[in-house]
Amino acid sequence: MKSCLVVDDSKVIRKVARHILETLDYSVREAGDGREALDACIAETPDIILLDWNMPVMNGMDFLRALRETDLPKRPKVVFCTTENGMAYIRAAIEAGADEYVMKPFDRETIESKLQIVGMA
């Protein structure tokens, strides 16, 4: 079973993403901010990370940079899930190492297609 870490400061978004991912046969863990997510990745590296941009403590971009500097046994795929939709945001996310980008609100079909694009479906 593939594993996913859902990183979002919104409990509702985490719950929706968890439900979608579990119906796609993923084991799901959650983190409320980037610091918590980094600790979770070090403890057990997921196959894929759904990552929010705007969070307290450590935002998505800072988490992504920190993740790239961490010596993990494997590199998880990262899909940014955010309300930020400007081309500058998308470009910055991809340049920082994100594999894909999805706009909120998202649905099962959108998540499933992004998982296919990054080779995780």
Q: Rounded mean pLDDT of 45-54?
A: 96
All residues at 6 or more sequence positions from 99 whose CB lies less than 8 Å from its CB, including other chains: 77, 78, 79, 118
CA distance 65 to 48: 16
pLDDT in tens, 62-105: 999 999 999 998 999 999 998 877 889 889 999 999 999 999 99
Whole-structure pTM value: 0.95
pLDDT of residue 73: 87
Distances (CA, A) of 4 to 18, 70, 94: 9, 18, 19
Residue 17 phi, psi (nearest 5): -65, -40
pLDDT at 85: 77
CA 78, CA 94: separation in Å to the nearest integer? 10
Side by side, the strands of the sheet bearing 2-7 are: 26-31, 2-7, 48-51, 77-82, 100-103
| Cβ 79 vs Cβ 113: under 8 Å | no
